[in-house]
């Protein structure tokens, strides 16, 4: 039995005497049960009903949380995804489960036709995937998974196997997707950025002729209210973009939609720092990757930062200018260590100000400007709060010394994850559940925050801190390997941690 399943069953099997399991019904145990219920045997689906396949950045977030209860399964989560990587280096945003009926999800494998339409780009022949990508959280996830159990990672050769694939993934993005010529990566479809229906896409999408409504059937409306989902017009444009990309053999550079997004690029930068740590762990220099991350950070600030607005804006490469919509994507670069101090301070002010209301009017960080004309507290990425973006911002606040605000956001994420039944997303004001419940990344990131307590500083830096007679670290690392999970982004010394709508 897998360790995660063992944990879920443990409360019934053992008396609570020494090192007892969390009490029945605890948030920790319920989060584990969500991940166990969504496990397919090789990977974790986002939800059993609405999203019955493997999604790319979902699996990265799942691995980050899963490492606390089953590092082996967390490794397998990433390995399964990387097994579907294309020859050109791209990691597809969906890996399809062949046992799921074609009509259970759209666009289905017969729409993407990856093994034929993607042949020139090196699509795998033995597994069906989509042809677009999602944000590159994977190297960051791989490093954190390794740090959860370095001995297991070394025994399995985990980093040695994933490093060349992750390096190829970054190479694809940096070499094939610099549509604007300024060093940043462009997305070629709203589904790639992950925040599918954000108002930031409205202007560039308006140039796209939608596919005829009769040419596709929306399976998402079988599981969610139409008023909470993208409109038929927007969906028709999504389908047209994907169809054109497919019919062009998934070749980059020719499409009518290309947008530089701050969150996508910030996550690439974070993962470049992580890839430098992985390289160092394998005996190679990591300095070039750290330097690349610093250059990308400078390009991000130069091209996308708006000091008057106090956040980053997307840039419409085909339209030639910034897209002045305040979305949560513009706050996510707070995660990065190399931001100028004044930029980080301005992001915190914007996060806590009237446009996002953190700590004042909202329970979790909304996905879009509370004062924007397109704001809707329930419609997909046009206002609701999502747990992965709040997790990223909690990490960013903590990294830039905003401990009180980070603690408050952490507490809010855990409370709303609990009361919403691990919802896909929630009303930012009330915490009311929207979309699917029992959502995997919500459960996984709640687990990660549960293992990062308010006593983290004492546990990491007090050499006398002990739990059950052993030096304790919420990541399960030996005493001499304790660091905050994202210290890798804020410490250029590679010797730290030695050994140790989705489409």
CB distance 406 to 456 below 8 Å: no
Residue with tokens 């990691």: 91
259-292 burial string, b = 16+ CB within 10 Å, else e? Answer: bbbbbbbbbbbbbbbbbbbbbbbeeeebeebbeb
| Alpha-carbon span 448 to 60, nearest angstrom | 13
CB distance 486 to 406 below 8 Å: no
| Alpha-carbon span 290 to 54, nearest angstrom | 30
Give yes or no: 196 in active site.
yes
Handedness of CA 267, 269, 300, 121 (dihedral sign): negative
Rounded to 5 degrees, φ, ψ at 160 are -60, -30
Residues 6+ apart with CB under 8 A from 13: none
SS3 content of the chain, % helix, strand, coil (to 5): 50, 10, 45
Q: Is 233 helix (H, G, I), strand (E, B) or coil?
A: helix
Sheet with 433-434: strands ordered across = 385-386, 425-426, 433-434
Q: Torsion-angle region of residue 434: left (phi > 0), alpha (psi -120 to 50) or beta?
A: beta
Of the candidates 424, 427, 473, 494, the residue annotated as catalytic is: 424
Of the candidates 196, 244, 272, 473, the residue annotated as catalytic is: 196
209-246 burial string, b = 16+ CB within 10 Å, else e? Answer: ebbeeeebebbbeeebeeebbbeeebbbbbbbbbbbbb
What one-character DSSP code corresponds to residue 54?
Answer: E
Neighbours of 320 (CB within 10 A): 8
Cα separations in angstroms, 192 against 135, 303, 366: 7, 20, 20
| Alpha-carbon span 356 to 389, nearest angstrom | 13
Q: Identify which of 66, 3, 129, 28 has the alpha carbon closest to the alpha carbon of residue 440.
A: 66
CA dihedral 417, 421, 423, 429 (to 10 degrees): -60
CB distance 129 to 94 below 8 Å: yes
- Alpha helices for 200-261 (secondary structure H): 202-205, 232-247
Q: Identify which of 380, 375, 360 has the alpha carbon closest to the alpha carbon of residue 425.
A: 380
> Cα–chain-centroid distance for residue 351?
19
Give catalytic residue positions.
196, 424
């Amino acid at each position: 039995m897998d360790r995660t399943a063992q944990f879920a069953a443990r409360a019934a099997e053992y008396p609570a005497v020494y090192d007892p399991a969390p009490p029945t019904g605890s948030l920790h145990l319920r989060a584990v049960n969500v991940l166990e219920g969504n496990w397919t045997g090789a990977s974790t689906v986002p939800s059993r009903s609405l999203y019955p396949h493997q999604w790319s950045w979902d699996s990265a977030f799942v691995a980050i949380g899963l490492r606390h209860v089953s590092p082996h399964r967390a490794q397998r989560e990433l390995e399964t995804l990387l097994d579907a990587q294309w020859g050109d280096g791209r990691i597809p945003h969906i890996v399809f489960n062949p046992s799921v009926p074609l009509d259970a999800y759209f666009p289905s494998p017969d729409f993407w036709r990856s093994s034929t339409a993607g042949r020139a780009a090196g699509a795998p022949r033995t597994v069906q995937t989509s042809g677009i990508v999602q944000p590159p959280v994977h190297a960051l996830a791989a490093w954190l998974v390794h740090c959860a159990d370095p001995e297991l990672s070394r025994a399995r050769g985990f980093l040695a196997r994933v490093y060349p694939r992750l390096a190829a993934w970054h190479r694809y993005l940096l070499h094939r997707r610099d549509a604007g010529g300024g060093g940043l990566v462009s997305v070629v479809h709203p589904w790639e950025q992950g925040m599918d229906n954000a108002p930031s896409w409205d202007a560039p999408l308006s140039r796209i002729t939608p596919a005829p409504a009769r040419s596709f059937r929306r399976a998402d409306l079988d599981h969610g209210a139409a008023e909470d989902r993208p409109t038929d017009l927007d969906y028709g444009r999504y389908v047209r973009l994907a169809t054109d990309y497919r019919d062009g053999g998934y070749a980059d550079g020719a499409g009518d939609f290309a947008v530089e997004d701050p969150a996508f690029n910030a996550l690439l930068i974070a993962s470049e720092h992580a890839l430098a740590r992985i390289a160092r762990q394998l005996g190679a220099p990591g300095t070039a990757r750290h330097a690349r991350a610093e250059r990308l950070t400078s390009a991000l600030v130069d091209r996308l930062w708006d000091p008057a607005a106090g956040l980053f804006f997307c840039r419409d490469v085909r339209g030639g200018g910034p897209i002045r919509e305040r979305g949560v994507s513009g706050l996510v670069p707070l995660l990065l260590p190399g931001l100028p101090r004044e930029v980080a301070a301005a992001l915190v002010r914007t996060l806590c100000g009237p446009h996002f209301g953190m700590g004042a009017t909202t329970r979790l960080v909304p996905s879009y400007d509370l004062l924007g004309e397109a704001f809707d507290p329930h419609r997909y990425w046009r206002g609701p709060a999502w747990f992965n973006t709040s997790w990223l911002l909690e990490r960013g606040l903590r990294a830039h010394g905003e401990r009180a605000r980070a603690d408050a956001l952490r507490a809010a994420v855990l409370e709303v994850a609990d009361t919403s039944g691990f919802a896909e997303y929630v009303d930012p004001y009330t915490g009311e559940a929207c979309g699917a419940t029992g959502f995997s990344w919500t459960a996984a990131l709640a687990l990660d925050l549960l293992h990062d307590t308010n006593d983290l500083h004492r546990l990491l830096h007090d050499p006398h801190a002990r739990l059950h007679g052993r030096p304790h670290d919420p990541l399960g690392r030996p005493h001499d390997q304790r660091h905050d999970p994202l210290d890798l982004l804020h410490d250029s010394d590679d010797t730290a941690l030695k050994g140790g709508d989705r489409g």
